[in-house]
Each structure stands twice: as C-alpha cells, then as structure tokens.
Amino acid sequence: MHLFRLKGLLALCLLIWIITRIIILMNKSKNKIRIRIWEEVLTSIFTIYIFILVRITISHIHTRVNILILSPFIIYLCIKYENRRSLKKSISTSFLISFTIELSKLVINILYISNLKIFYPEDLILNILGGSIGWFAFNILYKGKIKNIIDRVYINEKKPIINACI
C-alpha cells in the first residue's frame, strides 16, 4: 500500500521537475542566455537516473544490482566536475553515498518505520565496486571522441560551492 503512494509521489516529483526545467529553459531563452544542449541532455538523464535510484533503494526487493547502482552517478560526477576524476575521490564518494543509504535503512528499522529495509554490509562493498567500475568506464570513454564533447560543454564553467564539501 505504501509502495503505491510512493510511486504516485515519485510521478508527481518527476512532473514538477519537468515543469521546472521547462520554465528555466524558457527564462534562459527569453533572457538570451545560451542553452547548452549536451548539458541539458546530461542533466535530464541524470535526473531520471536519480528517480530510478530512489525507486530501487526504497523497494523491498533485495537485489545484487548494487554493483551497478552508483556507476552512472560516478560517471556523471566525472563528466560534470573535473576535480572529481580521481579514483580515490570516486571511491570515497561511493562510500559516503552507500553508507548514507545503508545508515538510513538501519534508522528506518530502528524507528520501526518499516521492517522491509535491512542493513547489508556487503552492499557497501558492492556499491564501492560499482563506483570504481563507473570511474574506469569514464576513463575508457574519456579517451575517445567523448573527451572533446565533455571538454567543450564543461570547460571554463564555474564550479559550484558543493564541490568543496564532497
């Protein structure tokens, strides 16, 4: 029963996000601010990935797809932020995200919100491995033609303050 309400909430959030993006793009166009297509495509793909990740994380089905859960996120970070392109930073980011997810599962169980979420220590290892795979995949892709596209879209772009925190 809670799962159906959650699906509706996710659908509503996706709809709000789409409307917000349309408004932002219309304002950029109105103010004659350059719209970078590749950046918009990458942001849209990443947002859809986040919605899928939330859906997988909250579902009560325990799968071994944890190895792939953080790979797209690490690839996205490596594409978007040049200072995130080291293996050490990718592994630490994977660990922090995975630890946060697992800790939230533990808190949910302790507070008796749901007994469907179980803390699995091996998920930490699988997610870190998935983040490492994402880093290796980025490095393989970055050596090809995609390097020119990434550099053209994200070169000389101001880095957000959040980078200092990660």
How much helix, strand and coil, in percent to the nearest 5, is found in the chain?
75, 0, 25
Q: What tokens does 58 get?
A: 């909250």
Helix, strand or coil, per DSSP, at residue 1: coil
State the Cα–Cα distance between residues 47 and 10, nearest whole angstrom. Answer: 12
Q: Supply the pLDDT for residue 155.
A: 60
CB neighbour list of residue 84: distance below 8 Å, 6 or more residues apart: 77, 78, 90, 93, 163, 166
Would you say residue 1 has pLDDT above 50? no
pLDDT by residue (tens digit) across 100-111? Answer: 888 877 777 777
State the Cα–Cα distance between residues 166 and 110, nearest whole angstrom. Answer: 28
Q: Per mean pLDDT, which range of 5-9, 33-37, 85-89, 95-99 is the poorest? A: 5-9
Would you say residue 165 has pLDDT above 50? no
Confidence of residue 159 (pLDDT cuts 50, 70, 90): very low
Contact, 76 vs 42, CB < 8 A? yes
pTM confidence score: 0.63
State the Cα–Cα distance between residues 83 and 65, nearest whole angstrom. Answer: 28
pLDDT by residue (tens digit) across 80-97? Answer: 888 888 999 999 999 998
Cα separation values, 146 from 46, 102, 110, 139, Å: 17, 34, 46, 10
